Amino acid sequence: MFPPVARRAESIASFLVMDILEEALELEARGEEIVHLEVGEPDFPTPQCIVNEARRALEAGRTRYTHSQGALELRQAISDDYRGRCGVKVDPGSIIVTSGSSPALLLVLGALIEPGDQVLLSDPGYACYPAFARFCGGESVFFPVRAGDAFVPQPDIIRAHMSARVKTIILNSPANPTGAVVPQEFLREIASLDCSVISDEIYHGLTYRAPAHSILEFTDRCFVVNGFSKRYAMRGWRLGYAIAPPDFIRPMQKLQQNLFISANTFVQAAAVAALGKAGADAEKMRLTFDERRKFIVPALRELGFGVESYPEGAYYVLAEASRFGDDSLALARRILHGAKVALAPGIDFGRNAEGHLRFSYANSLENIKRAMEALANFLYP
């Protein structure tokens, strides 16, 4: 008798945003025109200086494995980037380069979590964090973040959810799906909690009032996960990294050696160019996102969606939509098939996000305007 699927795999929840994307792609294959506001994928091409460096690396034959922690040149560039942006000193030996930020998080949790350990997560929060925790044997514990606080995690609420079993807390600032940015005084308080902190900083460089602060500014008892997909429009290049305390580097390196060997060599070369040469391109993209942000929030409010405050970072708006339907997944599917606009259902991001829809303004302003018009015609026929 053929064995059943492992409980570990069966128990992982579906990533509903991807389900909506794939449903939208099926509609497009049938000839429908869909406006994609469901995925966090910048619509910009990768900056030319990055593409040129990748081409040079390929032509130079840089297609062999690198050191399992990543090419030293790139780790030094990451170290320099954190010193320049955040004023913190990061030893290149404390960095592991990975094939995207998700593998970086997997390495961190794989080296940190024992079966039964608890991982503290915000609700709403990034949909995949609970799946990572479960896969590594951990148990997710959720603390609420509220629209009235601009979805910023409140230290007193976090403390109320602490226990002896909490091994770590995962912070995401700027945050997916809310766009919230944790102020430095709150980061300092969270860094003082009696547990480790994993800071997902993938949206650093995408803030609209003041730069985001790194957890590394307040503690060395922490892990950082970051990458190149968002800030540098390198989503399909799949490159990320983890910064970890020295005691964890060798265990994480062994996981990397066994699971992934090393990240793509020529992509690592391109990432050095991203950090050293693509600053102007990244700033142009940030300003364009800000323009879209300033359009989409009042447009959503005019349509009857609830948006208490402007998101301060990333490129998402989590809008209250219960007047149009309490089941956010069903509502997202109705809108997809009726208005031809793909949106992310709030339930994907936690129980407190049910009744909401996430709008990504990573698409062009022209397409966002098309989506708002289509929604108006669908919601108010």
Amino acid (one-letter) located at 343: L
pLDDT of 329-363, one tens digit each? Answer: 999 999 999 999 999 999 999 999 999 999 999 99
| Nearest one of 214, 165, 15, 16 to 102, comparing CA atoms | 15
> In whole angstroms, how far apart are CA 209 and each of 24, 161, 181, 290?
34, 30, 10, 10
DSSP conformation class of 306: B
253 lies in the same domain as 287: no
Mean pLDDT of 61-81: 97
What type of residue is 211?
A: P
The two structure tokens encoding residue 78:
């990451």
- Contact criterion met (CB below 8 Å) for 87 and 280: no
| Residue 297 domain-assigned (yes or no) | yes
Instruction: State which residues form the domain around 255.
Output: 61-277
Mean pLDDT of the chain: 96
Band the pLDDT of 27: cuts 50, 70, 90. very high
Residue 52 lies in a domain: no
CA-CA-CA-CA torsion sign (47, 53, 56, 60): negative
Longest dimension (CA), the chain: 61
> What span, in angstroms and rounded, lies between the C-alpha atoms of 17 and 255?
29
Do 320 and 270 fall within a single domain?
Answer: no
**What are the strands, taking DSSP E only, across 99-202?**
118-123, 139-144, 166-172, 196-200
What's the CATH code of the domain at 24? 3.90.1150.10
Domain end point (choices 261, 277, 293): 277
Does the pLDDT of residue 381 top 90, yes or no?
Answer: no
Residue 139 tokens read as: 């148990």
Shared domain for 38 and 66, answered yes or no, is no
C-alpha distances (whole Å) from 232 to each of 49, 54, 98, 105 are 11, 14, 16, 20
Both structure tokens of 295: 């359009």
Residues 41 and 183 in one domain: no
Co-location of 119 and 186 in the same domain: yes
Token pair of 133 as six digits: 């925790």
Beta strands in the chain (DSSP E): 35-36, 95-98, 118-123, 139-144, 166-172, 196-200, 222-227, 240-243, 316-320, 341-342, 344-345, 356-360
Domain boundary among 230, 261, 277: 277
Q: Strand 95-98's sheet: what is its strand order? A: 95-98, 240-243, 222-227, 196-200, 166-172, 118-123, 139-144
Q: Could you say which of 248, 277, 306 is where a domain stops?
A: 277
CATH of the domain at 257: 3.40.640.10
Per-residue HEC secondary structure of 297-339 comes to: HHHHHHHCCECCCCCCECCEEEEECHHHCCCHHHHHHHHHHHH
The letter for the amino acid at 118 is: Q
Please, which residues bridge with residue 171 across strands?
199
**Assigned domain for 1 exists:** no
In a domain, 55, yes or no: no
Whose tokens are 């955040």? That residue is 86
Residues 298 and 375 in one domain: yes
Query: CA 212 to CA 174: how far, in whole Å?
Result: 7
CA 246 to chain CA centroid, nearest Å = 25
Tens of pLDDT, residue by residue over 242-285, are: 999 999 999 999 999 999 999 999 999 999 999 999 999 999 99
Pairing, β 341-342 against β 344-345? unpaired
Amino acid 7: pLDDT: 87
Q: Are strands 222-227 and 240-243 parallel, antiparallel or unpaired?
A: antiparallel
Q: Express each pLDDT in 136-175 by its tens digit.
A: 999 999 999 999 999 999 999 999 999 999 999 999 999 9
Do 82 and 138 belong together in one domain? yes
Do residues 210 and 99 share a domain? yes
Pairing of the two strands 95-98 and 240-243: antiparallel
Contact of 166 with 133, CB cutoff 8 Å: no
Same domain, 267 and 297: no
Domain-located, residue 231: yes
Q: What is the pLDDT of residue 9?
A: 86
Do 33 and 14 belong together in one domain?
Answer: yes
- Alpha-carbon distance of 155 to 142, in angstroms, equals 13
Structural domain count of the chain = 2
Pick from 99, 151, 84: nearest CA to 314: 151
**Shared-domain flag, residues 262 and 238:** yes
The sign of the CA dihedral 202, 231, 236, 244 is negative
Residue 291 lies in a domain: yes
- Would residue 53 count as lying in a domain? no
Per-residue confidence band for 10, with pLDDT thresholds at 50, 70 and 90: confident
3-class SS of residue 317: strand
Does residue 268 share a domain with residue 284?
Answer: no
Q: How far apart are CA 204 and CA 223, in angstroms?
A: 15
- Number of residues written out for the chain: 381
Please state, in angstroms and as integers, the Cα–Cα distance from residue 345 to each residue in 33, 111, 341, 348, 357, following that order: 20, 32, 12, 6, 5
Q: What is the pLDDT of residue 357?
A: 98
Angle between helices 246-259 and 101-112 (to 10 degrees): 120
pTM for this structure?
0.95
Residue 8 scores a pLDDT above 90: no
> Measured between alpha carbons, how far is 348 from 170 in angstroms, rounded to an integer?
17
Inter-residue contact 260 to 99 (CB < 8 Å): yes
Evaluate whether residue 263 is within a structural domain: yes
